[in-house]
Amino acid sequence: MNCKKCGATLPEGSSFCSTCGSPVSLDTSFLIVTTPTVPGYKIKQVLGLVTGLTPRTRGVLGKFIAGFQSMLGGEVTAFTSEIEKARWEAIDRAKSKAVELGANAIIGMDIETSDLGLQSGIVLFSATGTAVILARETE
């Protein structure tokens, strides 16, 4: 199987591309949007707040490579794919909670990052939104 974004060869059962960090498959039957409404749909029921969290850190080698790249300036590629994977993992966790509630969409999705401090190098990714049941509007 190959990544649809970068074309890299993926091991069987992969959730994310190890090269670019993009998700391997997107479920188009479940909508996730940052807006409070979805054009062409009406909210039939609000099921509640859902959140997906994922704390991440880099190992010693990753920190070394990132430190070297930061001295040269530009993109720190040692973190790019890990950040993308962490973002999608947080979204997937929020989606799983929404599905458990019976939702078919998440509206108002907000993704934030924060440093947990303590010089630990741990970054927390948070994806928060409102689980809803949407229905197509009839004309």
pLDDT of residue 130: 98
| Residues in Cβ contact with 96 at an 8 Å cutoff, skipping those fewer than 6 apart | 52
Q: What is the pLDDT of residues 81-132, one digit of tens each?
A: 778 888 999 999 999 999 999 999 999 999 999 887 666 677 889 999 999 9
DSSP single-letter state for residue 11:
-
Delimit the domains of the chain by residue range. 31-136
Least confident of 10-19, 63-72, 117-126: 63-72
CATH number of 31-136: 3.30.110.70
**Predicted structure pTM score:** 0.71
pLDDT of residue 85: 86
Q: Is 118 helix (H, G, I), strand (E, B) or coil?
A: coil
pLDDT of residue 66 exceeding 60: no
Task: Give the DSSP H or E segment for 52.
Answer: strand 41-56
DSSP single-letter state for residue 34:
S
pLDDT of residue 96: 94
| Residues in Cβ contact with 9 at an 8 Å cutoff, skipping those fewer than 6 apart | 1, 2
pLDDT of residue 27: 55
pLDDT of residue 52: 97
Tally the residues of the chain: 139
